[in-house]
Structure 1
Amino acid sequence: MSLMISTLSNGIKFLKVSRSAQNLGLLTVVQQTPDIHQHRHINKHFNPKWKKMRREKVVKVELPNINEKFGDLTPDEQRSRMKERGVAPPRPYMERPFYISCTGGTFEPYVPPEGDGKVSSVKGVAKAKFEFLEKKGKSMMAVRKIRGFEEEFEPPEFALKAQEIYIKAHEAMMNKDKYELRKYVTERAYPEMRHNVANKTIRWKFLKSLEQPYVIHARCTDVISKENVYGQVTVRFHTQQCLAIYDRFGRLMHGSEILAKDVLEYVVFEKHLSNYHGVWRIHDKIIPDWAPPIEPSNKTYIDVIEEPEPLELMAEEKPSENIDVSVK
């Protein structure tokens, strides 16, 4: 009897028996259990995919030595430690950077002629025109310098733009919107416009322009360095406005909401010309010496009038009884 064992790729073994053995009644096929090796306690994921991703989700962090004192290290060791941690070395100076967004005042302010905005004689008008032409040369040079930074600058167009800035700034002050107010006034004019408006209600309204606004004065100056240039333009406004101010109790302190008044103002606008993102904002207001004084606020009080008592009630009152409090 001849026997032969063959093994397939799946691990199943077959037992081949010759025909002579089959006649003897022996089994022809013998099936054994698959040849599978089981590995227990293996430290591998059952799915070999994404093993790179699983490896990268864990990051080894180098923790600093908490027992190491930075002051005990030498300067070279301190420098190497700071380079390892990506820390910039300390600077040898204590200066702090600062930004100058506006100037501290009005340089070469415009002096308004006396009687401006009123009907005057021919002699006064001629004198004012002569003084204006005398100062016009410097203003033209300043406008030319402004055009070097702002090519589209034109005084007539800027006067209309300045009037819009003027209206928006006063509306923001009326609404007490300090964030909106900072867009239209400089850091110098901001505290002046916010002064003494707490606990008060302001009603302001722009009615119309009695005269077309125009640029009457322009100057440029540099701060700290010649490249840091600021420009100031003075615009004349002759308008009609309504203003009423109420205190915290709702009592009228100044002005009226129904009475319109003619207002003549010389407003200075400033821009940081060297700054690409600079904008024109209200910087100052020129008040001439010949202007009439500001009217004081009207304070209202309750007038308490004491009414005399009737004679009949006084006669009916009984005299008070004398009480003896002496010690016996």
Structure 2
Amino acid sequence: MAFRVTRQILFTQVRTIRHKPWIPKFRLIRQMQPWVQPFDPDLISIGGKSGGERSTASEIREHLRRNGLMPPLIFQDRPINLTHSGRIFDEYVPPEGDGKSSLLSTEMVTEMKDTVVKKAKTSRAAVRIKKHKPTFSTASFPSEADAIYKEVLSLLPKFYDNEERLLELTTEKAFAEMTAGLKLRTLHWDFVGSLEPPRVVSCRTEEALGKGNVFGQVTIRFHTQQILAIYDRFGRLLFGHPTSPVDVLEYVVFENYITDEYGRWRIHGKVVPSWARGFAAAPQRTRRLPTQSESSAQG
């Protein structure tokens, strides 16, 4: 039985400095040329100048031409990162009082009317994501997102040691935002439980840098109970409480470069509504009220 071996050749563009001409008959002439020391304006004086004086650009150019030297090539090519989009498409706007207001309130009724338009965009985006990722489903994805969300937060307290794994679960944008204020601080986090199951609230797709580069973003609503405490380098409590759980309502955006066959879902950012930005930015500490026996003992 004969087996057919298929080999794959990978071509990589490499930019190098080429000093020899294309015509091979000048090879002997190149061998006869004497070696000339490369020109360094800091070591060689031009026009009778001392070593402490620097030469001008015109003098350097004239010296290079006289000695038959080519000016150095300065490459200013910047790498392009296509692993993430760098922004959030059509940011989801949560209703004010979400997680606290009743379904019969005026705000929630108005939000239900606007949800009809948002659901149409979400459905179209979900269909487009499923064309590239056949296993994607708005019903099963929240469980996958919940596992990523918990693993990222569990690795975040020691992000120096877990940087490689965190970059597999978060984009470069999200990793920089999550670790910006933790370099000289200590983070303590623990998951208590879910108040509501996570669910998809928004799906969006957009092309970047031309057709064919499609990014998909899915916003997941998490309503959980967590324990969070942040200490400074001296061990003083800056935020939260090490034992008291708090209710946390978050809208986390997951992104996938769906054009890539091996693209994976990663945390890309978090949506903070305008009516909650003041609460999210203000550092606060949780305090436990003393019991009746403790207050009587102090009195």
- TM-score scaled by structure 2? 0.67
In the alignment, which of 270, 283, 287 is matched to residue 296 of structure 1? Answer: 283
Q: CA deviation at 1:123?
A: 3.0
Q: State the shift of 1:79 in Å.
A: 9.5
CA contact (8 A) 2:198 2:223 kept: yes
RMSD: 2.3
Q: 1:178 aligns with which of 125, 142, 163?
A: 163
Give how far 1:144 is off.
Answer: 0.2
Name the aligned partner's letter for residue 258 of structure 2: L
Report the equivalent of 1:23.
Answer: none
1:222 matched residue in structure 2? 207
In the TM superposition, residue 97 of structure 1 has moved relative to its aligned partner by 6.2
The C-alpha deviation readout for 1:240-270, integer Å capped at 9, x for no partner, is 0000111112222211111110001111000
Aligned length: 217
Q: Structure 1 residues 125, 75: CA separation in 2 closer, same or farther (over 3 Å shift)? A: closer
> Which whole-Å CA distance do the structure 2 matches of 1:74 and 1:182 have between them?
45
Pairwise CA distance, 1:125: 2.3
CA 245–147 in structure 1, closer or farther in 2 if over 3 Å, else same: same
Alpha carbons of structure 1 residues 186 and 75: separation in structure 2 relative to 1, 3 Å: same
Q: Distance in 2 between matches of 1:149 and 1:231?
A: 10
The 1:136/1:253 distance shift into structure 2, 3 A limit, reads same
What secondary structure sits across from 1:206 in the alignment?
strand
The code of the aligned residue for 1:200 comes to: R
Residues 94 and 118 from structure 1, CA distance in 2 versus in 1: closer, same or farther, beyond 3 angstroms? closer
Any conservation in 1 of the 2:200–2:219 contact (CA below 8 Å)?
yes
Match of 1:118 among 100, 108, 129: 100
Q: Distance in 2 between matches of 1:215 and 1:78?
A: 69
Q: What's the counterpart of residue 77 of structure 1?
A: 24
Q: Give the alignment of 1:270-289 within 5 angstroms.
A: 270-289=255-274
Tell me if 1:167 matches 2:114.
Answer: no
Provide closer, same or farther for how the CA distance between residues 74 and 159 of structure 1 changes in structure 2, counting only shifts above 3 A. closer
Give 1:96 deviation, angstroms: 6.7
**1: CA distance between counterparts of 2:284 and 2:192?**
23
User: 1:11-67 CA distances to partner (integer Å, 9 max, x unpaired)?
Assistant: xxxxxxxxxxxxxxxxxxxxxxxxxxxxxxxxxxxxxxxxxxxxxxxxxxxxxxxxx
Residue number in structure 1 paired with 2:83: 101
Q: Give matches, 1:124-143, under 5 Å.
A: 124-143=107-126
In structure 1, C-alpha distance between the alignment counterparts of 2:194 and 2:269, rounded to whole Å? 20
RCO higher in 1 or 2 (8 Å CA, sep ≥ 6)? Answer: 2
* Structure 2: gaps of 5 or more residues: 1-17, 29-74, 286-299
Letter in 2 for 1:185: T
- For 1:208, the equivalent position in structure 2 comes to 193
Cα deviation for residue 122 of structure 1 reads 3.5
Give the Å deviation of 1:74.
5.3
Aligned-residue sequence identity (percent) comes to 38
Determine which structure has more spread, i.e. the larger CA radius of gyration: 1
Return the TM-score normalized by structure 1. 0.62
What is the alpha-carbon distance in structure 1 between the residues aligned to residue 27 and residue 221 of structure 2? 65
